[in-house]
Structure formats: C-alpha cells, structure tokens
Amino acid sequence: MKTLDQIAAELQGYDPLALSATAVNEFLSRMVEPIQQTETLGIFDALGRVLAEDLISPLNVPPHDNSAMDGFAFAGQQLVRGQKLQLKVVGTAMAGRAWHGQVRSGECLKVMTGAVMPAGLDTVVPQELATVQQIGGAEFISIQSGVLATGDNRRLLGEDIQKGQAALRKGATLSPAGLGLIASLGLGQVCVWRKLRVAYFSTGDEILSLGEPPREGAVYDSNRYTIFGLLSRLGVEVIDLGVVPDQPDLLEAAFRRAAHLSDAIITSGGVSVGEADHTKAMMMKLANHPSGDGGVAFWRIAMRPGRPMAVGRIARDSDSSSGLGGTAVLFGLPGNPVAVIVTFLAFVRPALLQMMGSTAKPLPLLRASSAEVIRKKPGRTEYQRGIVSTRPDGSLQVKITGNQGSGVLSSVTAANGLIVLHHDQGNVAIGDQIDVMMFDGVI
C-alpha cells in the first residue's frame, strides 16, 4: 500500500493548498483499494451489488432457434422473387411444447411466439401477412411476393448469450436487467463483493441533533441525513455515529469507533483552514499507525463550493476484531451542506465505487444550452445547481436554481442536475453549451 507521501510524490505539481478537482480524483484513485471479501447471494438480494467474478453462461440463450412471431414457419429457400408462395399447414408448435413431425417442401408449420423451430425451417411469416384458405379439408396459406426474406422473424440459438461466454463482467453493478439476465442463464445465485461499510458523523458545537430544542446560534444537523441518502443510493452498509461535539475525548472515541466498524469514514465540518475546533488535530493524531499506512492530508481544492477537505487513512486499534486491515479510509468533508453533496459526488462517490470493486465509469455529463449568463473565473471548478428542461425544438436548456450559496440546500432540492464549469472555463454566455451531471438515480 502506498503512503500518502508516496502518492503525492507521484503526482506532478502536487500542491495541497491549490489542488485541481482532477488531481483530487487522481490522488484518491491511488489511495483506496478494493475490498477482497466476497459473498454468494440469491438473486433477490443481489440488486445493486457488484459482481466479484465474470458470470460465465452455462447455456445458450435462447437455447434453440425459435419463432419471434405468431405465424407460420417454413424453409425460406422456397421464396421466389415475383412469385406468390402457397404452403400447406401440417401442424402447430406452441411455445414450450416442441413439435416432432416433419415439414417438407411445400409445407409449413403454424408456430406461436417462442415455439422451437424444427430443423430445416428458418423463416416465419407473421400471421397478418399470410392469407389462410381451406382447400379440400386441408389448411393452406399464401404469402405475397416481396413481403418476406429468408431468416425473417426467427431468433437464433445463442443470439443473446452463448454458452461459455461472459454474460456479465466482474465489477459490474447488478441492475434490474442484470438480475433478469442471471435468471435467464438458469442461475439462482451470484458471487458479489461484500458490502462496503461506511461510518459517518457530523462535527461541530453548533450542530443540533433532531429532537433537541432550538438554541441560539445552533443549526439542525442536515449533513448526516444527506450523507445517509447518498450512501444508501450507492448500496453500501451505512453506520450512523451521530453528532459529535467539539471535544477531544468525544472526537477521539468517535473516530476510533468509526475505524473499528468500517472500511471508510465520512465526517463533515471542522476541516476548514482557521477552524478553532479539534477535528483536524484528532485526525492527525489517529492517522499514526505502526504500519506507516496511516496519514492525513488537508487540502484546499480549487473548486466552489467545497474548498476544504481532508483525506487519509485512520488507524484501527490493533485488537480490532473487525477483520478489516490496519486502517480505515477517511473523507473529511467541509461542513456546508451543499459542499458536502458536491464533494461527495465529485470525489467520494468514485473512490467508494473503486473500494466496492465496481468498474463503473464516471457519471456521464449532458450538454445543455445555458439559459443565462454565469460568471466564472478560470482556475477552479465550479458546481452550480441547475434545472435541465427540454425546449419545444427538442434541445436541452439549463437554468440555475436561484441563490447558489454553499449553505443553501434548497438550491439542490430545486435542481435536477449539477452544472459543472470546468477548471479552465471562463464566463458563460446565454446559449453556450455547458456540462450537467444529472441527479436522476444518483441523488
């Protein structure tokens, strides 16, 4: 495991007091490691979990050539350009009940969607394109020329997944379609990485827990609830350690407990420069570990909101029975509620995904036309809260949700996405195309 100093030395021009958002992601991707333990789960418990091995298909899907339509199956070589084709119906094949007779030239088989195609038959005329007639007690169909080509309306054996092929790759997050795919292979269980455990608490003397009476100068804790939501969406095991007042003994106990219980710790508040509180000092104290793996870096990131942040590894007590290695990863987020969300989405989420064993790509950015002028200084990344909507011509536009203060949580609840104004970008004019990270399914 590389120490924080080694990682810093690898990054060109690393300056903890003027770090770009890109450099933060680069640092964190080198700092965190994927968990190693796996578990085997039934399909119903596997939604949102990360596959720990390639899912190799034990069979072909579909397992046989079959009809994609209700209609009549026949050998397509009988189709002749410019000529009507007449065929005698010699039987019926239902889905799930194979038909074992013989279909010769000049004959066809009535088939239902999903019915196995007998050997030699490769084409299905949908019922609505066939004219059925009774001739001398027998049933015949006729097909007009030009309405069909050989191979039409037939699903091939293995066209979805072939036997022996990886249907899903290690590191994939299981989606609803993924669950269906596993079941389509006849498998009832999958091997996934165990859930990541993430402990979090809020710090600050002015932070009230729910249920406490309002007090002058104090505010109710919102960050814990936001972090709970963000983590739950990610599918980790959440460990809520409450609000911790600015007292060294209580902070120490909270950090020790968090490290004992979790793979990663998220705190909010107390990491800004000039903070009078004890959070930073305690992080530094607990980062000491005989292995040398521990450490904590205090950053000023060239971004808005969310400038201060602490990251590192906190030591676990040597008698820790958690079976989790010597250190827990630490993300010390700023206290401002919007800064918490922005730093989580920009930095913590990708790092946690990596720890979860996920190979998910960064969230895709959408391009939308700015409905207003936005002032922006090059040299830092800015995240504004926006509402993306579709204009009558079908193009996308984005508006800002009023007051963009880093404490204004309602600017996030009113938004459906986060506008990302990149490091080198300057002012935005009306009509300029800008990047938006959509919230749907994320927060």
The number of residues making up the chain comes to: 443
Binders of Mg ion in range 172-211 (CB under 5 A): 204
CA angle 46-52-57, nearest 5°? 80
Cα–Cα distance for residue pair 348/18, rounded to 1 Å:
19
Nearer to ligand AMP, 11 or 17 (CB): 17
Work out which of 294, 332, 335, 350 binds ligand AMP, going by CB under 6 A: 335
Binders of Mg ion in range 270-289 (CB under 5 A): 270
Binders of ligand AMP in range 397-416 (CB under 6 A): 407
Q: Which residue is nearest to ligand AMP (CB)?
A: 335
* Residue 334 is a binding residue for Mg ion (CB under 5 A): no
Work out which of 204, 326, 357, 386 binds ligand AMP, going by CB under 6 A: 204
Q: Look at residue 206 and give the partner it binds from ligand AMP, Mg ion, none, a contact being a CB closer than 5 to 8 Å depending on partner kind.
A: ligand AMP
* 355 φ/ψ angles, rounded to the nearest 5 degrees: -65, -30
**Among 94-102, 217-225, 257-265, 427-435, the segment contacting ligand AMP (CB under 6 A):** 217-225
Could you identify the residue written with the tokens 């994927």? 34
In whole angstroms, how close is the CB of 301 to Mg ion at the nearest point? Answer: 18
Cβ(381)–Cβ(421) below 8 Å: yes
Count the site residues for ligand AMP by CB under 6 A: 18
In whole angstroms, how close is the CB of 392 to ligand AMP at the nearest point? Answer: 40
Ramachandran class of 93: left when φ > 0, alpha when ψ lies in -120 to 50, beta otherwise: beta
How big is the chain by its Cα radius of gyration, in Å? 30
Cα–Cα distance for residue pair 100/116, rounded to 1 Å:
10
Work out which of 222, 359, 369, 397 binds ligand AMP, going by CB under 6 A: 222
Nearer to Mg ion, 80 or 276 (CB): 276
Burial of 390 (0-12, 13-18, 19+ CB in 10 A): exposed
Work out which of 60, 173, 336, 354 binds ligand AMP, going by CB under 6 A: 336
Cβ(419)–Cβ(384) below 8 Å: yes
Strand residue runs (E) in 269-351: 295-300, 303-304, 308-315, 327-333
* 379 φ/ψ angles, rounded to the nearest 5 degrees: 105, 0
* Residue 267 is a binding residue for ligand AMP (CB under 6 A): no
Work out which of 272, 384, 401, 404 binds ligand AMP, going by CB under 6 A: 272
* Residue 269 is a binding residue for Mg ion (CB under 5 A): yes
Q: Which residues form the interface with Mg ion (CB under 5 A)?
A: 204, 269-270
Q: Which residues form the interface with ligand AMP (CB under 6 A)?
A: 202, 204, 206-207, 219, 221-223, 268-270, 272, 275, 334-337, 407
